[in-house]
Amino acid sequence: MRPRLLLLILLGEFGLFVLATHVYSSLSPLSLLASGLVLESFSGFEGIAEGMNRKGRKAHAPAAIIGNSGIRHEFAFAVVPDSGKPTVVVDTELAVEDVDDTKVLKFYVKVFDVRPERAILCVSPKLSSRAAALANEYGIEVLEDEVPRRLLKLAEKAIDEKPNQEGS
C-alpha cells in the first residue's frame, strides 16, 4: 500500500495550523493531530497592539527585540516604550497535550536576555506540573485555556490589569 501525503490547513482566530502526515487508508483523521506541525500566527495580537497604540502605549505584534546578548528574539506581542526597555512580552505555546517544561525554558531564555518588567506565556491546553513549577520559579505569568482563541482576551485583560508607566 502506497502512503499519500495529506496536508490539512485550519485557520482559527488564534492562529494558522498546518497538519501534514503520511496517510494510509486505515488511519482516521483524528490520528493526524498528534503528528501535526503547528505554525503560529500572531495576527490575533495585532488588534490588541492597535488598541494599546491608540491609548499611547508602544505595542507591537509580532515583536522583535534585541537582547543584551545581541540576539534578536521574537515574541507574539510586546510593549516597548521609546526607552527601548520592554515592559511586557507575551508568547504562546499550543499543544495537543499539556505544554511541557522545554517550552517554558525556551521562553525563559528569551525573557532572561531581553529583561522585560513582565513576561506572560499563553498556553493551551495547560502547562504540565513540572512546567508550571518552572514558570513559577522564573516569575513567568501563565495564562491557560483549553480554547486557544480565548487566550487573546485573557492576555489583553492581564496586560491591562497591571498597567506599566511608560515614557513615550
The domain containing residue 152 runs over which residues? 43-161
Determine phi and psi for 156, rounding to 5 degrees. Answer: -60, -45
Question: Residue 35: how many CA atoms within 13 Å on its side-chain side?
Answer: 14
Structural contact between residues 145 and 124, judged by C-beta atoms closer than 8 angstroms: yes
One-letter-per-residue 3-state SS of 100-113: CHHHHHHHHHHHHH
Same domain, 58 and 76: yes
Q: How many domains does the chain have?
A: 2
Least confident segment among 22-31, 102-111, 120-129, 156-165: 22-31
Same domain, 28 and 57: no
What pLDDT shows up at residue 160? 86
Same domain, 120 and 151: yes
Please check whether residue 167 lies inside any domain of the structure. Answer: no
Averaged pLDDT, 48-68:
94
Rounded Cα–Cα distance for residues 62 and 53 (Å): 14
This model's pTM is above 0.75: no
